[in-house]
Amino acid sequence: MRDVHHFISGAAYEGQSGRYGDIYNPSTGEVQARVALATTDEVDTAVQAAAKAFPEWMTTNPQRRARVMFEFKRLLEANMDELAELLSSEHGKVVADSRGDVQRGIDVVEFACGIPHLQKGEFTEGAGPGIDVYSMRQPLGVCAGITPFNFPAMIPCWMSAVAIACGNTFILKPSEKDPSVPVRLAELFMEAGAPEGVLNVVHGDKTSVDAILEHPEIKAVSFVGSSDIAQYVYATGTAHGKRVQAMGGAKNHGIILPDANMDQAVKDIVGAAYGSAGERCMALPVAVTVGKKTGDEFVERMMEEASNLRVGISTDPDAHYGPVVSAAHKAKVEDYIRLGVEEGAELKLDGRGHTLQGYENGFYVGPTLFDHVKPEMKTYKEEIFGPVLQVVRAETLEEAVALPSNHQYGNGVAIFTSNGRAAREFAAQVNAGMVGINVPIPVPVSYHTFGGWKRSAFGDTNQHGPEGVRFWTKIKTVTQRWPEGDIGDQAFVIPTMG
Ligand code: NAD
């Protein structure tokens, strides 16, 4: 069986812990490889490699750092097919969707290619007599990223590309469920000309995460995953003196107003709710319809669309979506469907017990649709993370907008309308971090910034874009004077520029 190793100091590093995690092929339900789970000492080995690489990388001029990023981008593009297939085989999403995952990662690498401009400081000439003030953004040192299973190419790039372009060195701890693509990213980054030790990958579970959070040499940690763990990572990392950003779960709402283009709304929402088997933090698992007529029409049209979706193996080019990531996750999603029925929501399409001929052990869940879901239901309040769309009926726009605003999560939200004024008001008022107007999955482009509100993110700095550069650097401000002659008593008073 294939073993997936750590990647330290520019080479594969065989784990010594004797502990391994199984890597499944979700389409067949079979174990296809195993991944070494790191000990605290192995995390330390990676940190030492990154610490050794830091002084030289930090002083490598930004244009040279950018050149490595340009070459990395070229290599990612050249290896797109291999990366996407490998990603699908461990995650289960269809290959076309995996290509999107890799492309979104490439977009962030492309953003990082602009680092000479992005990291430029500020300068004020003549802030006082003979006095100039300038500020510079310096890298932090050894940094770390801990990533979830659902975007094994994009999210490692969100963190590592920006951190490393800024002059930091990096430890990536990817999800143990689909760790092969992150290792390929590190190999390609070396091939692009990065010095050894600049990007290291350690695999593992809670042991390795705790080792990262407690390691005195690590200056900043970026985390993406579920909310309880995000909160734990934020609390533990900051208690150990680190800068931490920790993105959590989501329950994104799409609001459909009576004046929406219903064709567009239904087509957009079917993709956003069921694409990638609903395993996206920017999926749209809640549709809020305004008014009875809109609700009835939406549910009828959605039933027709969703029941025609093709669930298939990840390499089926005609499949709309593939299996969920694990048997445990399939059981969890099916439990939520059972609970939804118990809670009194109206089950219009039931995806439980979905099997695929020839792939009976794969982790499939069919498209599921609930109508008349109520805000007090547990299945509404919690993140299901599966191909389950819940329709909540609202009478007024105010009632509809209050739903996502009052929800515990505040990642993304969307509105479907032809009324610009209502959309503008909605964007201004709604209590969530990313808003779509007739856009179902409002994932910002790489040169803007990604991040939710409330229990969808802990810490106050977002991923990539200028916010990312701020997270991965610290600012230093220099006030310089080249005085002429004796400055006398002025040395004893607080200096002012007046
Ligand atoms: P997860 O929280 O189970 O795992 C995330 C990371 O934490 C993994 O690297 C994992 O090894 C580690 N981990 C798991 N258990 C741990 C523990 N007890 N202590 C310390 N570390 C632990 O998340 P997942 O299932 O891999 O990913 C899905 C979740 O991620 C969903 O909740 C989804 O909404 C969220 N997500 C959020 C965003 C965002 O930007 N807000 C993006 C993608 C995914």
How far does residue 6's CA lie from ligand 1's centre (Å)? 19
Residue with tokens 């002059």: 167
How far does residue 246's CA lie from ligand 1's centre (Å)? 10
Give the whole-angstrom CA distance, residue 452 versus residue 463: 10
Nearest to 395 by CA among 297, 261, 292, 287: 292
Q: Is the CB of 324 under 6 A from ligand 1?
A: no
Q: Which two tokens stand for residue 412?
A: 């993304």
Domains of the chain: 2-248+456-478 (3.40.605.10), 253-437 (3.40.309.10)
Q: Which two tokens stand for residue 461?
A: 């700095």
Q: Is the CB of 229 under 6 A from ligand 1?
A: yes
Q: Is the CB of 222 under 6 A from ligand 1?
A: no
Residue 118 near residue 469 (C-beta atoms within 8 A): yes
Residue with CA closest to ligand 1 atom 23: 225
Q: Is the CB of 401 under 6 A from ligand 1?
A: no
200: region left, alpha or beta (phi > 0 left; psi from -120 to 50 alpha): beta
Active site residues: 281
Residue 405 near residue 431 (C-beta atoms within 8 A): yes
Pocket mutation for ligand 1, best pick of 172, 226, 384, 408 (most atoms within 8 Å of C-beta) = 226
Phi, psi of 60 (to 5 degrees): -70, 130
- How many other C-beta atoms are found inside a 10 Å radius of the C-beta of residue 211? 24
Q: Is the CB of 200 under 6 A from ligand 1?
A: no
Residue with CA closest to ligand 1 atom 9: 175
pLDDT tens digit at each of 498 positions of the chain:
899 999 999 999 999 999 999 999 999 999 999 999 999 999 999 999 999 999 999 999 999 999 999 999 999 999 999 999 999 999 999 999 999 999 999 999 999 999 999 999 999 999 988 899 999 999 999 999 999 999 999 999 999 999 999 999 999 999 999 999 999 999 999 999 999 999 999 999 999 999 999 999 999 999 999 999 999 999 999 999 999 999 999 999 999 999 999 999 999 999 999 999 999 999 999 999 999 999 999 999 999 999 999 999 999 999 999 999 999 999 999 999 999 999 999 999 999 999 999 999 999 999 999 999 999 999 999 999 999 999 999 999 999 999 999 999 999 999 999 999 999 999 999 999 999 999 999 999 999 999 999 999 999 899 999 999 999 999 999 999 987 776 666 666 677 766
